[in-house]
Structure 1
C-alpha cells in the first residue's frame, strides 16, 4: 500500500498526464475568433500566428483564399495590423472583389513575431458560401528564410496532418438559430469551468474534463495529507 506522501506524488503525476492529453501538442496558424460562420453572411476571420522557432522570428504571413466555386469568397476586406504592411493580390476590379491573397509583412525586426509570442491578422469576407467548411492556405516566413506552408487538408487516412490549413465551419442560416438554442440548453444542463486566465470551458469539453479531474485529484490528496497530520498529532498526544 502506498504511503500518503508517495500517493500524493503519484496523484500529481496523474494530473500532469491529464493536462498533457487535454492540451494541443503544438500551435499552428488557426482561425481562432469564431467556431463557425453562417452561410450567406459576412464574417470576420482572425488568423492567429504563433512563432514556433526559438532562433528565428516570423516576419511575413500570406493568406491564400480558396478559389473553388463552393468555397470562394466574392468580397474580402482586410484589417490593418500596426507595424505590418499589407499587400493585396487581386484578379478583378472593385473594392474587395476578386481578392486572391493577402500578405502582411513586418515593417522592421521590432515588429516581427518572436519566440513564445503570436500575432493576429484579420479579414472580413462574404458572402459565405453554403458549404461544410472553408479552408485557407497560410504561408509563414521566418527571419532566417524558412518558409512553412499550412495547407494540408484532413483525409480519412490522415485526419490530423502535420501542417493543417486554417479553416472555419459553415452552417446554414436556419441551423445557426438552432445552434444558439442548443448552446443555451447545454449551459442549462451543466456548469462551465472558469480558467485561471478568465476563460471559460463548457461542461463536457476536454478542458472542462481536465479541470474537474484535477480538482477531484487535489481534493483526495489534500484529504490524505490532513489525515496523516492528524494521526501524527494523535500519536504525540497519546
Structure 2
C-alpha cells in the first residue's frame, strides 16, 4: 500500500471514529436510570440513580419528574439530597389495593417523585452538564422483569420533554423511558446454609476444645492423685522404719 493510500485510510478511519463517538454522545444524551452495583432483586429494595443531561443550548433544566406505575405497588421511596434542589415524593390513594412484591396489600403507592431546582440552581444551559438524582425504592414488584420509569424534564424557558417511549424491539425511540432490570429473587438458602454451617462448625470446635480440656484436666488430676498416693505411701514406710 502506498503512503497516499495509507494516509487516506487513516483519515477515513479517524473520520468514522469521530462520527461514531458523536453518534454515541447523541444516543446517550437521554434521561437514564442507572444501577451502580448488583441489579436490584424482585420483591426487594434497590438504589436507582437517574442521570439527567441538559440538551438545550439556550435553556437549563429546572425540574425533573419520575413516574412510578401504581401497579408496581412501591410503598417507599427515599431520595438523596442534591444541593440546590428540593424533592417531593407523591403518593396516590387507589380505589382498590394492589399487591406488592411481598404479596402485601398497598392502597397508597408512590406514583411520582419531583425534583425542583431552587432559584439560581439547576442544570446549566448547553450540553456540557448533567445532574444525578439518587433514590432507594421498596418493595419492588416481583411480577415484572423490568421497571419502566417515565421521566419529564422541564426547562427554564417552559419547554417540557417527556421521556416515556418504550422500545419494542426496533430502533431506539427518540425519547426512551428510563428502565431498570430486576434480578430474580434470592431464596437465601445458600446464605442460611453457610451461616448454619459456620455456626455448627464453631459449636463443634468449641465442644471439641471443651472436651479436650476436660480430658487433659482429668488426666492431670489422675497424675496428681497418683503422686499424692506415692508420697503418702513413702511417708508411711519411713514412719514404720523409724518406729522400729
Q: Smaller-chain TM-score range?
A: 0.5 to 0.7
Query: Structure 2 CA distance, aligned partners of 1:113 and 1:126?
Result: 32
1:165 shift after superposition: 0.4
- Relative to its length, the structure with more helix (as a share) is 2
> In the alignment, is the contact (CA less than 8 A) between 2:166 and 2:173 conserved in 1?
yes
- Is the aligned partner of 1:104 residue 2:115? yes
TM-score after normalising by structure 2: 0.61
> In the alignment, is the contact (CA less than 8 A) between 1:84 and 1:106 conserved in 2?
yes
1:91 shift after superposition: 2.4
Counterpart position of 1:91: 92
Matches within 5 A, 1:75-154: 75-91=76-92, 98-115=109-126, 116-130=128-142, 131-154=144-167
Query: Structure 2 CA distance, aligned partners of 1:8 and 1:36?
Result: 46
- Selected match of 1:42 from 23, 41, 45: 45
Gaps of 5+ in 1: 176-238
Counterpart position of 1:163: 175
Q: Which has the larger radius of gyration?
A: 2
Query: Structure 1 CA distance, aligned partners of 2:110 and 2:164?
Result: 18
Query: Structure 2 CA distance, aligned partners of 1:72 and 1:102?
Result: 14
> In the alignment, is the contact (CA less than 8 A) between 2:65 and 2:152 conserved in 1?
yes
1:56 shift after superposition: 0.6
TM-score after normalising by structure 1: 0.63
Gaps of 5+ in 2: 94-107, 188-244
Equivalenced residues, count? 167
